[in-house]
Amino acid sequence: MLIDQTIDNYKIVQQLGKGGMASVYLAENSQKKPPKVAIKVLDINIEDNAEYVLRFKKEAFICSKFSHPNIVKVYSYGIFEKKYFIVMEYIDGKDLSFFIKNSKVRPIKDILSFTYQIASALSFAHKNKVIHRDIKPQNIILDKYGKIKITDFGIAKINISQALTLEGERVMGTTYYMSPEQIKGDNIDLRTDIYSMGILLYEMITGKNPYAADTPLAIINGHLYKTPVPLNNIRNDVPEYFIYIINKCITKNKNDRFNSAEEILQALKSKKIEQIKVKSKSSLFWENTQKVIEIKNTETFIGRGEINNIILKDPHVSRKHAKITISDNNYIIEDLGSMNGTKINGENINIHYLNNGDRIKIGNNLFTYRC
């Protein structure tokens, strides 16, 4: 145990978790930014296991180059007493496996929000020529504000333009979420992550992995030869477009899947807009001006620039700051990478399903959502 020891000027105060080869600790330094971090320490000495050291160094290298709201940030990495460590963003939350096990029925609107965030992170990774290869609930953290963070790029593949799994290379990944091409040792590409994501979404909706079985061989046979129970046989509140997206993700032939995570994002947006049937009018009450702004468009853009539907003449507002999308009678607000962020009820958000009475802060402007 490393409690009370100091790594990279952070004092370790608590063990957060322990895996097969590494432990994660909470560490603090009130004089640094951020004041709290998570430090992942490889439990073996650097000379003891070359493979795990390589994976650990790869995770540190990849994530240190990434900057995306849905990927865990890496601040630094190095060696402490002959053991590798990574100093990373501390997330006050739990991984998705906890919520799958402990939630009776997860609302579809929550799962749609998670889907969008996961696809956004994967799209970013894929555009940077990185395949995760181990998308599973344990590698996706949900914070207390509903924000998703993907972690553990330790077995990721870099440079997706090349043949990615060479003949004879050992299969990497987790059996429950492994694509057929991974199982067979065929060449993999970014569609492998899409398959794993689809299996994860199925599990979030149903509470059960579609190929759950007692033995690894039975699980593998499921991925290769079986068809999952249709989602609408298990739940009747899953929108048809969402079922279509998940089914396309988990098809066994990778050529029949989405070609990229970006395509999933576009499908989510377009399918929602196609099926929009607004039952009631929603509006924003702009507290600064006492005006009521009715939300009529399927997409309403908010920002400082003249191209926006709602124009805010405020230097703290970005030119294209946020947008509200109408989807399946849901109103979804999304921050568009603004400089100062978008707050809902006092908390910064990336994407949020609006509820009656939500208070929205954009720059110095306050709105109340009404429906």
137-147 residue pLDDT tens: 988 999 887 88
Q: Is 274 exposed, middle or buried (0-12, 13-18, 19+ CB in 10 A)?
A: exposed
Q: Which of 110, 121, 16 is nearest to 73 (CA)?
A: 121
Give the up-direction half-sphere exposure of residue 266: CA atoms within 13 A in the CB hemisphere.
Answer: 7
pLDDT greater at residue 351 or residue 152:
351
34-60 mean pLDDT: 76
d(CA 225, CA 212): 14
Q: Identify the residue whose tokens are 């068809």.
A: 227
Q: Return the domain boundaries, the chain.
A: 6-89, 93-274, 282-370
Beta bridge partners of 78: 85
- In the CATH scheme, what is the code of domain 282-370? 2.60.200.20
Contact predicate 99/138, CB 8 Å: no
Residue type at 181 in one-letter notation: E
Which 3 state secondary structure label does DSSP give 15? strand
pLDDT greater at residue 371 or residue 187:
187
pLDDT at position 115 = 94
Residues in the chain: 371
Indicate which residue of 134, 189, 335, 358 is catalytic.
Answer: 134
pLDDT at position 32 = 83
pLDDT greater at residue 31 or residue 117:
117
* Bridging pattern class, strands 310-311 and 299-303: parallel
Residue type at 282 in one-letter notation: S
pLDDT greater at residue 265 or residue 63:
265
Domain 6-89 in CATH 3.30.200.20:
yes
Q: Identify the residue whose tokens are 């972690």.
A: 151
d(CA 258, CA 197): 11
d(CA 332, CA 329): 10
Whether the pLDDT of residue 46 is over 80: the answer is no
Query: H or E segment at 111?
Result: helix 108-127
d(CA 96, CA 140): 6
Contact predicate 62/156, CB 8 Å: yes
Tell me the CATH number of domain 93-274, given options 1.10.3470.10, 3.90.1280.10, 1.10.510.10, 3.40.720.10.
1.10.510.10
d(CA 229, CA 116): 24
Annotation marks residue 256 as catalytic: no
Whether the pLDDT of residue 202 is over 90: the answer is yes
pLDDT greater at residue 81 or residue 271:
81
- Please tell me if the domain spanning 6-89 has the same topology as the one spanning 93-274: no
Whether the pLDDT of residue 119 is over 90: the answer is yes
Q: What's the pLDDT tens digit per position in 251-292?
A: 999 999 999 999 999 988 876 545 544 344 689 999 989 899
Q: Report yes or no on whether pTM surpasses 0.85.
A: no
